[in-house]
């Protein structure tokens, strides 16, 4: 059973919960923000640029932060950047490749559907999804320069971290990407005017863009607006979070299977797992403190990692998909029935293992070599003779045994020893 999607009653103010969960790395006036979030409903937003066909785990931090604040009674705006996605915010090292308008439009639709999954569109504080292309496209370059650009000072813009990093690099920075912070600032101003939006959330690496909006609102409207920058999530060993063997952990199931995502969370280090539970789940403070004790007293059980994987995959992909990947994970490692697994889940699980395509009826010894479980046919025969090989959960005793693909979807699972597995797909 997963935790209910709710704010923690242990905290009187959602601001205090955000602080406890480690979600406030940088912000505008903290006392003002605490009063704002503890008072009458406000409108707030976070933007997501379609620079890829899917959001990823870094974006999930923002999506869950949006939801937490909505659960406290406030009104979220999920902005999908149809215009800023055509530009791309400056990366620290090199200029982005500009995608075609058609590609960006397609990705806007995909990201919009993803954002919608994490927010509620019912009740007095129902969410809205907005697209900044709606107010940017009709504006001429002259109007943009006169109405927005005149409020920006180049000296201030040059000091922004992303811009400064690029200016000091060999790549430099184009005027296009240099202008990105103005576009994002204009978004905040437009949302303030249309919806009374007074708070923007985002990653701390976006702080220069976040304050671009608060500064613009102050200059143009003469009033205060606020920003929260969440921390960039890193592993305790200093490596980048959200990567698995060099590949991003995407929220789209076609780009990252639920099984792969589940295994990613299961592999979380003990030193990181409690902080991950705070950021990526709706478990309460009391529940997380209980898991902290288990990490210290019984780390070999990996109870915190299992709960983390369960909660996040259920949040992203739903309870049915989560149950299927847990069943696959247990069956593959000898704690369940391989023949009872869902075919697509089993296939995606085997994709994450060493695997090979072989012809139906091929000898098991050939499949052992093809999958890399052994290096030679003689080693394969020796492993079988020693009783260390199984196919689809059944020990192989005959060196002449063949691969049959009897599991759902016409695949097979080879095992050497207790924990070394490989997938076999039949051609």
Query: DSSP secondary structure string, 206-226?
Result: GHHHHHHHHHHHHHHHSS--E
Pairing of strands 420-426, 355-358: parallel
Provide the pLDDT for residue 166.
86
Structurally, what CATH architecture does the domain formed by 14-232 represent? 3-Layer(aba) Sandwich (3.40)
Asked whether residue 308 carries a pLDDT value surpassing 90, the answer given is: yes
The percentage of residues in the chain with a pLDDT greater than 70, rounded to a whole number, is 99
- Sequence-ordered list of residues with C-beta below 8 angstroms from that of 132, at least 6 positions apart, any chain: 47, 79, 80, 81, 82, 83, 84, 183, 187, 190
Asked whether residue 292 carries a pLDDT value surpassing 80, the answer given is: yes
Provide the pLDDT for residue 246.
63
Provide the pLDDT for residue 69.
98
The Cα 137–Cα 421 span in angstroms is 54
Q: What is the pLDDT of residues 126-184, one digit of tens each?
A: 999 999 999 999 999 999 999 999 999 998 988 888 888 888 887 889 999 999 999 99
Report domain extents, the chain. 14-232, 233-336, 353-427
What token pair was written down for 304?
Answer: 């915190």
What token pair was written down for 27?
Answer: 């912000």
Mean pLDDT over the full length of the chain: 93
State the CB neighbour count (10 A cutoff) for residue 178. 20
The average pLDDT across 300-322 equals 97
Q: What is the pLDDT of residues 366-396, one digit of tens each?
A: 999 999 999 999 999 999 999 999 998 899 9
Contact 230, 61 (CB under 8 A): yes
Asked whether residue 282 carries a pLDDT value surpassing 90, the answer given is: yes
- Sequence-ordered list of residues with C-beta below 8 angstroms from that of 306, at least 6 positions apart, any chain: 266
Pick the most confident of 94-108, 233-247, 335-349: 94-108
Indicate the range of 133-147, 178-192, 296-310, 319-333 predicted with least confidence: 319-333
Contact 241, 271 (CB under 8 A): no
Which candidate, 381, 324, 378, 380, places its Cα nearest to that of 349? 324
The average pLDDT across 181-190 equals 96
Report whether CATH 1.10.240.10 matches the domain 233-336: yes
Strand-pair partners of 411: 407, 425
pTM greater than 0.85 (yes/no): yes
The Cα 261–Cα 318 span in angstroms is 13
The Cα 364–Cα 70 span in angstroms is 56
Asked whether residue 350 carries a pLDDT value surpassing 80, the answer given is: yes
The Cα 310–Cα 291 span in angstroms is 14
Q: What CATH fold (topology level) applies to the domain 353-427?
A: 3.10.290
Which candidate, 97, 240, 100, 85, places its Cα nearest to that of 171? 97
Contact 267, 239 (CB under 8 A): no
What token pair was written down for 294?
Answer: 């288990």
Question: How many Cα atoms occupy the beta-carbon half-sphere of 26 within 13 Å?
Answer: 12
């Amino acid at each position: 059973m997963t935790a209910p999607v709710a704010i923690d009653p242990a905290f009187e103010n959602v601001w205090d919960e955000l602080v406890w969960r480690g979600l406030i790395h940088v912000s505008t006036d903290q006392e003002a923000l605490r009063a704002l979030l503890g008072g009458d409903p406000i409108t707030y937003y976070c933007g997501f640029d379609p620079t890829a066909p899917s959001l990823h785990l870094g974006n999930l931090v923002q999506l869950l932060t949006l939801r937490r604040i909505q659960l406290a009674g406030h009104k979220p705006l999920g902005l999908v950047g149809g215009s800023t996605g055509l530009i791309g915010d400056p990366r620290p090292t090199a200029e982005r490749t500009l995608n075609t308008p058609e590609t960006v439009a397609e990705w806007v639709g995909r990201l919009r559907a993803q954002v919608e999954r994490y927010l509620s569109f019912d009740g007095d504080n129902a969410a809205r999804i907005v697209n900044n292309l709606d107010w940017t496209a009709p504006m001429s370059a002259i109007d943009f320069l006169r109405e927005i650009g005149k409020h920006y000072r180049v000296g201030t813009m040059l000091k922004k971290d992303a811009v400064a990093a690029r200016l000091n690099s060999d790549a430099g920075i184009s005027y296009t990407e240099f202008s990105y912070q103005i576009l994002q600032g204009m978004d905040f101003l437009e949302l303030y005017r249309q919806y009374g939006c007074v708070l923007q959330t985002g990653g701390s690496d976006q702080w220069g863009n976040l304050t671009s909006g608060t500064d613009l609102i102050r200059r143009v409207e003469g009033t205060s607006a606020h920003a929260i920058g969440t921390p960039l999530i890193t592993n305790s060993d200093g490596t980048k979070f959200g990567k698995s063997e060099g590949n991003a952990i995407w929220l789209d199931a076609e780009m990252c299977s639920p099984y792969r995502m589940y295994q990613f969370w299961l592999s979380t280090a003990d030193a990181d797992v409690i902080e991950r539970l705070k950021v990526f789940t709706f478990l309460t403070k009391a529940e997380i403190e209980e898991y902290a004790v288990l990490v210290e007293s019984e780390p070999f059980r990996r109870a915190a990692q299992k709960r983390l994987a369960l909660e996040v995959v259920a949040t992203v992909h739903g309870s049915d998909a989560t149950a299927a990947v847990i069943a696959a994970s247990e069956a593959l490692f000898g704690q369940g029935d391989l023949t009872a697994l869902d075919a697509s889940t089993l296939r995606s699980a085997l994709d994450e293992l060493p695997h090979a395509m072989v012809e139906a009826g091929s000898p098991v010894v050939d499949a052992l070599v093809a999958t890399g479980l052994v290096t030679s046919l003689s080693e394969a025969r020796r492993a079988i003779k020693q009783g260390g090989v199984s196919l689809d959960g059944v020990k192989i005793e005959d060196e002449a045994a063949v691969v049959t693909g009897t599991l759902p979807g016409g695949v097979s699972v080879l095992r050497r020893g207790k924990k070394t597995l490989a997938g076999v797909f039949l051609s």
